[in-house]
């Protein structure tokens, strides 16, 4: 009988290639970054993959890899799990945090089930055990290429969560949410740009997906986080680039505007976009054509543009951080996603749904929430909104805790923090202690701490600033 690790290896690293399939033709991958502290592995892979990729770069650690990523775009990353300094898993998790969704193949010499699970949870597309043959790596690369091709056909297609309210995918029955659904159905068939505003975690992307679904447009739904991509890379991602446009641009590459032709392009966190990029975006919106970086030819595009932000763009205009003409161009139609505290009457429905789906995914029993627990949950402000709620539910299911124990300031957290007196049970005191403990555990990494706490980084930074904490 095969061991769990062997089963994983069979699942993710079967060396038998698909018959008649040419991996080179199944995707547009042209560049690969290999990260490993063993020179022999680097040389072996660099030589063996040169036939698949026009650009093959190597790095001995995560810092060197970061330096290469700042200079050049890579279509694939192959990394060892154990690296000097930061582990490969930590490094890739940081890339995901920055919004870089480059597919990753992990390598390791440690054939442990938990290692494989950790790699896959970090976002690995594949997982290879050392030593391996070049045929095995090429097969893994081929699968990755094929996966990228399919992702381009169904761009970032995700399983929708939430009950379907006439197909919107937005869960909730309060008047605010019903109003949002009605607005979505009215604006969806129109060609105009739409500005979706709301706090982090309120479901802005879900609203954008609903608009695309009701629009009748046949093209792809293409989201991009404008605040998570470096300015130079953002320009190339949106508009594409010509061959030789910059170091590493060994081949021409189409941008997301071209890929979204006939569909919908969602500019997430538009308020984070640099002013220079805002100027280029305004021209594209007005001219309905794009020019690749380093190119000299305009290409017409038919793209429905949706913009999403958690910022007050009017205030950003007043501060000089956002172009006024772009703001008015984006704000033709506007939708505001309400915060969870504004629709707290939907909380029982949301808890019931997410607890059921997450419990099913984890293979555990769905929790039962008592009236007293629900009362305490409704009194919490939920600064991280729906995203925080889902994180709290998942964390408590994993730890077999009551949902109230996952909230800052609740008894379970207070006990874990070692509260000793009544003064320690004050909500703000317990919350502060818990947040600082999580920050300390994560070495001061606010992004990682915010993710564990189930809140946005902005919310965490605001709280730390109010406490005079500047780690």
37-59 pLDDT, tens per residue? 999 999 999 998 888 787 889 99
- Over residues 274-287, the mean pLDDT reads 90
Give the pLDDT confidence of 173-221 residue by residue, as tens digits.
Answer: 899 999 999 999 999 999 899 999 999 899 999 999 999 999 989 889 9
Q: Are residues 47 and 194 in the same domain?
A: no
Q: How confident is the model at residue 230 (pLDDT cuts 50, 70, 90)?
A: confident
Q: Are residues 287 and 429 in the same domain?
A: no
Q: Are residues 350 and 264 in the same domain?
A: no
Q: Are residues 425 and 390 in the same domain?
A: no
Domain total in the chain: 4
Q: Whose structure tokens read 């790699």? A: 119
Q: How confident is the model at residue 19 (pLDDT cuts 50, 70, 90)?
A: very low
**What percentage of the chain carries pLDDT values higher than 70?**
79
Q: Is residue 164 part of a domain?
A: no
Q: Whose structure tokens read 């300390």? A: 440
Whole-number mean pLDDT of the chain?
79
Q: Are residues 117 and 241 in the same domain?
A: no
CA distance 402 to 405: 5
Q: Are residues 236 and 317 in the same domain?
A: yes
Strands 194-197 and 289-290 come out as unpaired
Among candidate residues 336, 352, 387, the one where a domain is terminated = 336
Q: Are residues 179 and 289 in the same domain?
A: yes
Give the pLDDT confidence of 93-151 residue by residue, as tens digits.
Answer: 888 776 677 889 998 887 666 767 777 777 778 888 888 899 999 888 888 877 766 65
CA distance 25 to 145: 9
Across the chain, which distance is largest between two alpha carbons, in Å?
71
Give the domain extent around 365: 341-407
Domain at 45, CATH number:
3.40.50.2300
Buried b (16+ CB within 10 A) or exposed e, 413-439: bbeebebeeeeeeeeeebbbbbbbebb
CA distance 164 to 196: 20
Q: Are residues 387 and 241 in the same domain?
A: no
Q: Is residue 278 part of a domain?
A: yes
Domain at 394, CATH number:
1.10.8.60
For residue 457, CA distances in Å to 15, 206, 310, 433, 452 come to 42, 20, 12, 17, 11
Domain at 203, CATH number:
3.40.50.300
Q: How many helices (H) and strands (E) does the chain have?
A: 20, 12
Domain at 466, CATH number:
1.10.10.60
Among candidate residues 296, 321, 336, the one where a domain is terminated = 336
Q: Are residues 142 and 15 in the same domain?
A: yes
């Amino acid at each position: 009988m095969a061991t769990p690790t062997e089963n994983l290896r069979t699942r993710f690293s079967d060396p038998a290639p698909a018959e008649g399939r040419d991996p080179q033709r199944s995707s547009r991958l042209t560049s690969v970054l290999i990260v490993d502290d063993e020179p022999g592995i680097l040389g072996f892979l660099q030589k063996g993959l040169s036939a698949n990729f026009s650009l093959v770069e190597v790095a001995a650690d995560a810092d060197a890899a970061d330096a290469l990523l700042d200079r050049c775009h890579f279509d694939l990353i192959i990394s060892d799990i154990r690296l000097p300094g930061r582990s490969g898993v930590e490094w890739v998790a940081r890339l995901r945090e920055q919004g870089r969704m480059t597919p990753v193949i992990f390598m390791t010499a440690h054939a442990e089930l938990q290692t494989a699970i950790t790699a896959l949870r970090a976002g690995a597309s594949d997982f290879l055990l050392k030593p391996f043959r070049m045929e095995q790596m090429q097969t893994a690369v081929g699968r990755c290429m094929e996966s990228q091709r399919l992702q381009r056909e169904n761009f970032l297609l995700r399983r929708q969560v939430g009950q379907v309210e006439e197909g919107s995918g937005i869960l909730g029955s309060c008047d605010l949410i019903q109003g949002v659904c009605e607005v979505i159905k009215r604006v969806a068939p129109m060609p105009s740009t739409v500005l979706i505003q709301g706090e982090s975690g309120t479901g802005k992307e879900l609203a954008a997906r609903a608009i695309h679904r009701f629009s009748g447009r046949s093209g792809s739904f293409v989201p991009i986080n404008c605040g998570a991509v470096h300015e130079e890379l953002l320009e190339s991602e949106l508009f594409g680039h010509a061959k030789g446009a910059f170091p590493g641009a060994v081949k021409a590459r189409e941008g997301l505007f071209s890929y979204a032709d006939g569909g919908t392009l969602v500019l997430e966190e538009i308020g984070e976009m640099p002013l220079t990029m805002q100027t280029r975006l305004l021209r594209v919106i007005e001219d309905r054509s794009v020019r690749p970086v380093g190119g000299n030819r305009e290409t017409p595009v038919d793209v429905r543009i949706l913009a999403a932000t958690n910022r007050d763009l009017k205030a950003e205009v007043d501060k000089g951080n956002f172009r006024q003409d772009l703001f008015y161009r984006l704000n033709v139609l506007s939708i505001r996603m309400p915060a969870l505290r504004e629709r707290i009457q939907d909380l029982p429905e949301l808890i019931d749904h997410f607890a059921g789906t997450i419990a099913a995914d984890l293979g555990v029993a769905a929790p039962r929430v008592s009236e007293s627990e629900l009362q305490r949950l409704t009194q919490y402000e939920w600064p991280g909104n729906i995203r925080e709620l889902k994180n709290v539910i998942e964390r408590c299911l994993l730890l077999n805790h009551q949902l109230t124990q996952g909230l800052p300031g609740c008894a379970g957290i207070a006990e874990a923090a070692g509260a000793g007196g009544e003064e320690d049970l004050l909500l703000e005191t317990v919350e502060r202690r818990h947040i600082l403990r999580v920050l300390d555990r994560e070495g001061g990494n606010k992004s990682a701490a915010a993710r564990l706490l189930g809140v946005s980084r902005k919310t965490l930074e605001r709280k730390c600033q109010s406490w005079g904490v500047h780690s």
